[in-house]
Amino acid sequence: MKITDIVIRAGRSLKQAKARTLLTSLAIGVGAFTIVLSLAIGAGGRDYASNIITSNTNPQELFVQPKADANNDPTKPQKYTEGPSATYGNYSVKLLSQSDVDKITTLDGVESVTPIYSVKVQYITTEGQDKYQVSLRSFNDGVKLDYLAGNSENISTNNGILMTDTYLSSLGFSDASAAMGKKVQIAVNKSSNLAGIPESKIFEFTVIGVVKSPALAASPLSGMQIYKDDIKAIYDYSQKGTAMYGEYQGAIALAKNGADVKVVKNNIDNAGYEAQTAEDLMSFIFNFINVLQAILIGFGVLAVLTSVFGIINTQYISVLERTQQIGLMKALGMRRRDVGRLFKLEAAWVGFLGGAIGSGLAVIAGTIGNPFISKALNLGNTNLIVFEPLSVLAVVVGLIIVSVTAGIAPARKAAKLNPIEALRTE
Amino acid sequence: MIEVTNLVKTYGKKDNTFNAVDDVTFSIPTGKSVAILGKSGSGKSTLMHIMSGLDKPTSGSILIDGKDILSLKQKDIDSFRSKKMSFIFQSFFVQAKESCYDNVSLPLEIAKISYSRRKKMIEAALAAVDMSEKINAKAGELSGGQKQRLAVARAIVNSPKILFADEPTGNLDSVTGGMVENLLFNYSKENNVTLIIVTHDADLAKRCEIQIHLKDGKIDSTRGII
C-alpha cells in the first residue's frame, strides 16, 4: 500500500470518530499550548534581557574585582589577609588599591581602567527649586542613550551633566530643551570630617543633554552622568583623608577596540583578579529566565506524558472496534507492516492535530496578551512573548513523534491480528 | 489450475488433536465454479482459508498455476492475494462509514494501483454490479442485497483470478441472493475466473460445475471433477 493512501485512510478513520479524535488531540493540545507559550516567553525574556544589557552596559567593559577565595566556606570563620578591605557586618571584602589599578592598565588588550569611585552626594537642586536625592555615575560612551535634547559632545570640557528626564519637572523645567544650558548644583558631604562639624561643598554643572531614562533600565533611579574626572573630583573631596581613600571595590576595565573581551577577561583573571564581562554580570537574568522556562516546559511535558496514555488507550479501543476491518484488509492482501503503519499514522494525525490546535491557541493567546503584558509591566514596545516559527514547528513535529511512539503498541496489536479470527462473525 | 494434495490441518496438541482437514486431495481447472459443501464443522472454511493463504496447513501442498504458495514468504503471499485472489463474505464486511467508492478502492490501494487508474476501475466494477448511482453513498445506508453487491464489486475490481465466496447468500433473502449468485456465476464465466463457493446450501452448490462434499474434514463425495 502506498504511504499516501495510508495517510488518507488514517485521516478518514479519524474523521469517522470525530469526538474521540478531537478529545484525544485536545489532551496533547494542552501540553503543546504550555510548551509553545513557555518557549515564547523564554525567547521574549531573553530578548528583553539582552536589551537591558545593551542599554545599560558597554560590551567592551569588564568589571574587575580582587580575587575571592573560591574555597571559602562562608559558614566558617574567615582567614585574615593583609591589604585593604571593606567590612559588611562580619563579612569583609578585599579592595583594589591604586597599584592594582595601575597593574591592570598594563595588561594586554586593556585600553583603560577606571576605578569605581563610590560617590555619595547629598542632593541636586537648581535655583528656586527643592533639593532632590540623586545618584551620579561616570559617563560611558559605550552605552546607548536616548537623547531628548543635546548630546554628550562637550561632557569632558564644560562640567557638563547628562540629566535624566524624570528630574525635568521636579527641577522646574517645562521640557527637555528648557533645561539645556541651565546650571544645576550638587552638594557633596566631606566624609573625613569629624562628626558634628559637617562640611560640604556645592559642585556646579551645566546641563548639556537630557536623556530618556531607559524603559528597560534595571533601576528607575539610574543616575545622571558626568565626566569621569568630575566624578573623581567629587570622590577626592568626599573621601580624601578617610581610611578608604584610594581603595576601590572594583574597577571598570575597557577592552581595546577590536580586542576579544573574553581574552582580556582571561588576561585579567590570570593576573590575579576577577573580571566579569557585561554578559557575565547579566547572566543571572538569563539563568532566571531559563529556570522559569524549564519549569513551565516541565508542566507541558507532564501534560504530554498524560496524553500519551490517552493516545495508547484510544488506539487500543480503535483496534478492537475495527477488528473486522483489519481482518478484511489483511485478507485482501494488506501487509502487516502497512496495517501497523495505518494505526501509527492515525496516532501521528492525533499528535499533529493536538500540536496544531495547542500551538495555534498559544500563538493567539500570546498575540492577544502581549500588549496587555507590556502595558502592565511598563515595557513600552517590547513584547515579552515572542514566537519563533521554528520552535513552534519543532514542538508540533516533536508531538507527532511522541504520538507515533505511543501508537506503536496498539499498531503492533493490529498488525498481529489473525485475519481468520478477525473475520469470524459468530 | 489449483492443485490441492494431501492437505492436513490439525488442531490441538498430543492426545487431544483433531483434524479439521484430513488428507484432502483435488484439483480445480482454471475458470471453473466450485462448491465446497459441508455442515458446520466439516472443515470447509478451514480449507478455504488454507487455499487462500490465510492459514497454514499442518502438511500437504497447494499449487496455484504450478506455484507452491506454501513456500512463499508472508509478504509474497499477501502480494499474491492482493493481485490474484478476492473474497466475498457472508456478512459483507463493507465499511459502513465509507462511501461505496472508498470501499471498492481498498483492494486497489492495497495492490498499489496508481491513483489515476483507480477511478475507471472502480466505476467499471460498480457498473458491473449495477450500483453506479450509489458511488458516493455511504455503505451503511445500503440494503443487505446492495451491500453484498458492493462486496462483489470490491471483489472483482482488481480482476482477480480466483474468487472465494464464503456463504455469499447466507444473509440474503432468496430474491436478492439469486441476484448475487447470478452476478458471481456470470462474472466467473465471462472472465474465466475460478469461483470457489463455500456453502451448506445445496441449491447454490448445484449451480456449480464442481462440487466437493466435506465430512469431518475428509472428502465425502465429489461431482464434476475431471
| pLDDT of amino acid A95 | 81
Whole-number pLDDT of residue A195: 62
* CB-CB under 8 Å, B55 with A333: no
**Domain that residue B199 falls in:** 32-40+73-223
| Residue in the block written with cell 554578559 | A279
CA distance, residue A6 to nearest chain B CA (Å): 9
Residue B104 within a domain: yes
Q: Among A100-104, A150-154, A331-335, B57-61, whose mean pLDDT is lowest?
A: A150-154
Q: Confirm if A162 and A211 have CB atoms less than 8 A apart.
A: yes
Give the strand pairing for B2-11 and B59-64: antiparallel
Say if residues A307 and A24 touch (Cβ distance below 8 Å).
yes
Judged on CB neighbours under 10 Å (0-12, 13-18, 19+), B114 is exposed
Q: Which chain A residues touch B95 with a CB distance below 8 Å? A: 325
pLDDT in tens, B66-80: 999 999 998 899 999
**Cα A40 to Cα A46: distance, rounded to the nearest angstrom:** 10
Does residue B194 belong to any structural domain of this protein? yes
pLDDT at A72: 60
Cβ separation B85–A419 shorter than 8 A: no
Contacting A with CB below 8 Å, chain B residues are 49, 52, 54-55, 74-75, 78-83, 85-87, 89-91, 93, 95, 97-98, 102, 106-107, 109-112
**B16 found inside a domain:** no
Task: Assess contact for B33 and B212: CB atoms under 8 A.
Answer: no
Which residue reads 464486511 in cell numbers? B93
Closest CA to A403 of A32, A6, A39, A37: A32
CB contacts of A338 in chain B (<8 Å) are 110
Asked if the structure places residue B214 within a domain, the reply is: yes
Strands B162-166 and B85-88, by their bridges, are: parallel
Q: How far apart are CA A279 and CA A283, in angstroms?
A: 6
* Predicted local confidence at residue A282, as pLDDT: 73
Q: Which of A86-95, A143-152, A299-308, B113-122 has the lowest mean pLDDT?
A: A86-95
How many angstroms separate the CA atoms of B101 and B118, rounded?
10
Residue B5 counted as domain residue: no
B79: which chain A residues are within 8 Å (Cβ-Cβ)? 333, 335
Out of A329, A331, A334, closest to residue B54 by CB? A331
Cβ atoms of A205 and A155 within 8 Å: the answer is no
Q: Are A260 and A59 in contact (CB under 8 A)?
A: no
Residue B202 has pLDDT above 50, yes or no: yes
- Min Cα–Cα distance to chain A from B49, Å: 8
Chain B hits for A327, CB-CB cut-off 8 Å, are 93
Q: How far lies A410's CA from each of A328, A346, B86, in Å?
A: 18, 11, 27
| Residue of A325, A336, A338 with shortest CB distance to B95 | A325
Q: Tell me the C-alpha to C-alpha distance, in Å, between residue A3 and each of A338, A342, B76, B83, B102.
A: 8, 9, 19, 18, 16
How far CA A53 is from CA of A263, A281, A324, A330, in Å, comes to 20, 9, 65, 64
CB pairs under 8 A between A and B: 63
Tell me the ipTM for this assembly: 0.91
**Best of A20, A323, A328 to disrupt the B interface by mutation (most B CBs within 10 Å)?**
A328
Q: Do B82 and A9 touch (CB under 8 A)?
A: no
State the Cα–Cα distance between residues B73 and B77, nearest whole angstrom: 6
Q: Which amino acid appears at position A296 of this protein? A: L
Contact B78 A334 (CB under 8 A): yes
Total count of domains within chain B? 1
In Å, how far is B14's CA from the nearest CA of chain A? 23
How far is A413 from chain B, CA to nearest CA, in Å? 17
**3-state SS, residue B147:** helix
CATH number for the domain that contains residue B36 = 3.40.50.300
DSSP code string of B8-23: EEEES-GGG-EEEEEE
The predicted-structure confidence for A202-233, as pLDDT tens digits, reads as follows 889 989 888 887 655 544 446 788 888 888 88
Residue A78: all three cell numbers together: 574567615
- Cβ distance of B52 and A331 shorter than 8 Å: yes
Nearest CA in chain A to B53: A331
Q: What is the pTM of this model?
A: 0.72
Structure confidence at residue A69 (pLDDT): 61
pLDDT tops 60 at residue A399: yes
| pLDDT tier at A426, thresholds 50, 70, 90 | very low
Q: Do A9 and B109 touch (CB under 8 A)?
A: yes
> B45, B110, B150, B167: best mutation site toward chain A, by most A Cβ within 10 Å?
B110
Q: What does the block give as the cell for A49? A: 534581557
Residues of B in contact with A420 (CB under 8 A): 49, 54-55
Give residue-wise pLDDT tens across range A370-394: 888 888 877 767 788 889 999 999 9
Mutate to test the interface with B, among A13, A330, A332 (most CBs of B within 10 A): A332
The pLDDT value recorded for residue A92 is 63
CA-to-CA separations, A216 to A152, A168, A376, B39, B121, in angstroms, rounded = 21, 19, 14, 89, 69
